[in-house]
Amino acid sequence: MAGVSLKCGDCGALLKSVEEAQEHAELTSHSNFSESTEAVLNLVCSSCGKPCRSKTETDLHAKRTGHAEFLDKTLEAATPISLEVPKQDTFESNDVDAASASNQPEEMVVPEVDKKLLEELETMGFSTARATRALHFSGNNSLEAAVNWVVEHENDPDSDQMPLVPANAKVDAPKPLLTPEEMKLKAQELRDRARKKKDEEEKRMEREREKERIRVGKELLEAKRIEEENERKRLLALRKAEKEEEKRAREKIRQKLEEDKAERRRKLGLPAEEPGAAKPATPAVEERKSSLPVRPATKAEQMRECLRSLKQNHRDDDAKVKRAFQTLLTYIGNVAKNPSEEKFRKIRVTNPSFQERVGAFTGGIEFLELCGFEKIDSNEFLFLPRDKVDLTVLNSAGSELDSAIKNPYFGVL
């Protein structure tokens, strides 16, 4: 299949003609081009008819206009590509035929131009090469034609190169000159025209840059809005997941509380509650209590209830409650390990450290009294006599304290 495009080997861009390849090379400095059978995309907007040559162009067009339908006319526009480079400067057809027919390289010389016209152009500030080139390609017959040629070709890359022609090329005869006043006026006109053209080009470029800035600004705002919307959705989903997790945690705690409550009723000798049974009125409760024997609470149960009350009374400061439990466990452990040491069996109630860790909590001193400690010396000390040291009671106290410290649901009910 014949090639329908030129492909840049450096960046992969597809180009429709040799001219486009030359422009691409000037802009990017890429020089590796090859003929390709892959056609340049031609996606035409169904709404406004704008042609787009890539998916990126269609996306940008859709964002700016809201048009979403495009017709693929790539195959309709695909034609075999011509690899011939267009000629910039042409001579007379008979000169070209003569040069091509000759087997020997033809001698090239600087064309002869009107010397007076050349001097006038140099007086106006043009270089010799540019003036010679202007006279040669404008017909070498008038200063005005040469000046117009300079204006039209001032951006040509070879405008300051001396032109060359075959040695046998014909040169027209010189034409009349302009007066000095006319030359000044023509030079001023040339400068004004060049300045005006430059100003118009700068204004056009500024408008293009402003349009591009507006377009980029809108795209950035849209991207920011989409990002904020996605972040808001993510936060909502995260909060919903947190609420569901919190709900499941509360349900687990409630089930654990129900189990603890049932266990305490069992230990106290009370019948288990029926899930669907309604709570009886106060007289009925009193009558039921009077008809059932109540087993006295053991020392361990009293200690557990004392610790539970302590935690419930100070539920807003869980860290200090845990420290109080650990301090009580230290006191009980020291006495159990060294029952003969009086220093472990005597605690100054007014001691600041004791007050901060245990004494300031309702139920802290009561727990020590359940372990056998007694207030002496006008309630200044808590003292456990040697003959009242009961290791069984101390071990039970230690077990209750350890359970209160390790069980996260202790005292919640």
SS (H, E, C) 381-394: EEECCHHHCCHHHH
> Between the ranges 16-25, 54-63, 376-385, where is the mean pLDDT highest?
376-385
Looking at per-residue pLDDT, the higher value among 180 and 116 belongs to 116
Say what the pTM is.
0.32
| pLDDT digits 0-9 by tens, 109-129 | 888 888 888 888 888 888 888
Residues in the chain: 413
CA–CA separation, 50 and 60 (whole Å): 12
**pLDDT at residue 6, as a whole number:** 77
Q: Which residues of 207-221 are buried (b: 16+ CB within 10 A; e: fewer)?
A: eeeeeeeeeeeeeee
| pLDDT digits 0-9 by tens, 367-389 | 999 999 998 988 889 999 989 89
Q: Which fold has domain 106-178?
A: Helicase, Ruva Protein; domain 3 (1.10.8)
Contacts of 132 (CB under 8 A, 6+ apart): 110, 111, 113, 118, 162, 163
Candidate CATH numbers 3.40.50.12240, 3.90.1150.10, 1.10.3470.10, 1.20.58.2190; the one for domain 299-406: 1.20.58.2190
For CATH 1.10.8.10, the residue range(s) in the chain are 106-178
| Closest C-alpha among 371, 377, 409, 407 to residue 390 | 371
Q: What are phi and psi of 247, to 5 degrees?
A: -65, -45
**pLDDT at residue 41, as a whole number:** 80
For CATH 1.20.58.2190, the residue range(s) in the chain are 299-406
CA angle, 402 as apex, 401 and 406 as ends, to 5°? 120
Axis crossing angle, helix 318-337 with helix 299-313, rounded to the nearest 10: 150
With H, G, I as helix, E, B as strand and everything else as coil, classify residue 49: coil
Provide DSSP, 179-216: PHHHHHHHHHHHHHHHHHHHHHHHHHHHHHHHHHHHHH
